[in-house]
Chains A and B, each alone.
Chain A
């Protein structure tokens, strides 16, 4: 790879790739690198994507990173929170969410650590994870791939995994887990719905991916994650994230 391409930039391109088949839907991204990834997708392979400013507006051009529509960019629509739930239910949306825990079937937890009645750590709550995973494609972004995050069993299922979705019956026919982009690898799901390795980022030791996952993961023969093109690198560095906010999630 180009000697100066960073892990963060590889992660941005991998996040961008989650929108390749998405078409004209609302891209929802939690986190700095997923946000840059969604915007990169719109500026390259997926121009029909609808972006939001993370607040109440849909943007035909991205506002400056971390800012709302008020700071610039062109507003093309209004999407206050009540409309977001209508859009979720319609399915015309795709999310890249974060996770505090993920298990081998893609069940995700952002609610709490420990027991429901008396958690050792109360986190953010389930937020929109149950509805997102019930209604449209959901991908996950993990900035620090670790065995504390990838666990045998999550403490509370916020985002619905593949085993749970199958058991829930036909009302979850729109359940679709895409990929998990981490700072080490891109993970997918096999025919049984279990987590697999799709690719390992250039420069990352495959053994480190297995060691940092709390359930068995076959890393043998995994290809290298693609590196961003020259044009993607230019967009990331000069237009989307000139201040290098991406390094706050994945350091150089």
Chain B
């Protein structure tokens, strides 16, 4: 089995401006946030970002990394809206494809199957078609039905975060929902898996049944060990969402001055510095 262990900065160094980047997870759940933070530290720009969006989208948009967004939604879950994303939308500066959630999955499935489109009824009659003029419909050859032909959403690179992985890239999701991470990987030319812990292959079944092994190394380019790498989103069962920190993020994001202070405290250093700053944040909260 090949050894695909790679450092966070080396993985991000392979990302080029203008690429289409898929980001796994869902809303504020098991997002590859360490990889997102490393993207913030890089010089890449003009990205097309494809995601069930959460703070990953908010952070990348606020940092000016995003030329275009393709998404099913952008939400922080316990907080309905991401202020960085909504502010960018309200300034009119984002090119977006806003799809129905199921349509979005259909586009990923098409890419994963190397098809140019897949049909669905989701979107028919709605303004999703008007808002996305590139979308076309297609007549069924078998009935009078006219379906939405959802174009494939192929990815140059996908980033996902797994609970465990071996050094070959077999990845494990231990939480209640795998989201669509395996689909992101199959729709991508290259996939980087960040993980809470790299374990021996023989130990992969120590904590979960074989059903949790949902992503094969066939689809994985590199494996990055990033403990707490999904912070501040959920990474069940390793940890839940850091709600206090997410609140601080969302509150800081509402004003340019408080946002600059947040960015300088948490985002200007490296990943180790980020985690230390988070620990300091919580220690200060305990004292209050």
Contact = CB atoms under 8 A, between A and B. Distances in A.
Interface string B78-103: 00110001100111100000111111
A170 B144 contact: yes
A55 B177 contact: yes
A143 interface: no
A1 interface: no
Interface of A: 55-57, 69, 78, 80-82, 85, 88-89, 111-112, 116-131, 133-135, 156-161, 164-165, 167-172, 174-175
B145 A170 contact: yes
B25 to A, nearest CB: 11
Interface residues of B, number: 44
B100 A128 contact: yes
A168 B98 CA distance: 20
Nearest to A161: B125
B102 A88 contact: yes
A158 to B, nearest CB: 6
B92 A156 contact: no
Contacts of A121: 86, 90
Given A56-B176, A125-B74, A128-B101, A134 B125 contact: yes
B26 A124 contact: no
Contact of B147 (A56, A120, A127, A171): A171
A1 B132 CA distance: 51
24 contacts: A55-B177, A56-B177, A80-B179, A111-B98, A116-B130, A116-B131, A119-B90, A121-B90, A124-B73, A125-B71, A125-B74, A126-B99, A127-B73, A130-B122, A130-B126, A133-B125, A134-B124, A156-B131, A158-B126, A161-B125, A164-B125, A165-B125, A169-B145, A172-B121
Interface in B170-216: 176-180, 183
A127 B127 contact: no
B235 to A, nearest CB: 15
B121 A112 contact: no
A232 B67 CA distance: 53
A102 to B, nearest CB: 14
B72 interface: yes
B279 interface: no
A244 B19 CA distance: 50
Contacts of A165: 125
A46 B150 CA distance: 37
B125 A122 contact: no
Interface string B108-132: 0000000000001111111110110
B146 A130 contact: no
B14 interface: no
* The 8 residue pairs across chains A and B that have the minimum distance between CB atoms: A118-B92, A131-B122, A160-B125, A56-B176, A122-B89, A168-B125, A130-B126, A164-B125
Interface in B209-233: none
Contact of A122 (B81, B99, B123, B180): B81
